[in-house]
Amino acid sequence: MKQAMRFNITDPNLCPALRWKGMFTGVQEDPTVPSTRDNHYWCVYTQACVGPDNKLVEPFECSSPERVCHREALASLQ
């Protein structure tokens, strides 16, 4: 699997419980500056790199509505 697909943070199905360091920097991405993206992700519910279902937390995995935790996170927004 290509890294661009695995770490795509613009996927419309991305779980709202997924977090990464870049979410907390208030600057626009500048193509002249090297990226600070470190591809370290965590879940709001577990505060770890594994979700409540003991599966890996990263954008590709956390874009699957098949995961129970993903459905629960979406339901909590409604």
On whether the CB atoms of residues 49 and 56 are closer than 8 A, the answer is: yes
1 has a pLDDT exceeding 80: no
The first and second tokens of residue 66, run together, are: 């098949």
- Domain boundaries along the sequence of the chain: 11-20+40-78
Tens digits of per-residue pLDDT, 41-70?
999 999 999 999 999 999 999 999 999 999
CA dihedral defined by 36, 40, 45, 47, rounded to 10 degrees? -100
What pTM was computed for the model? 0.81
* Interatomic CA distance for residues 54 and 68, integer angstroms: 11
For residue 42, what is the DSSP state? Answer: E
Tens digits of per-residue pLDDT, 24-38?
777 777 778 776 667
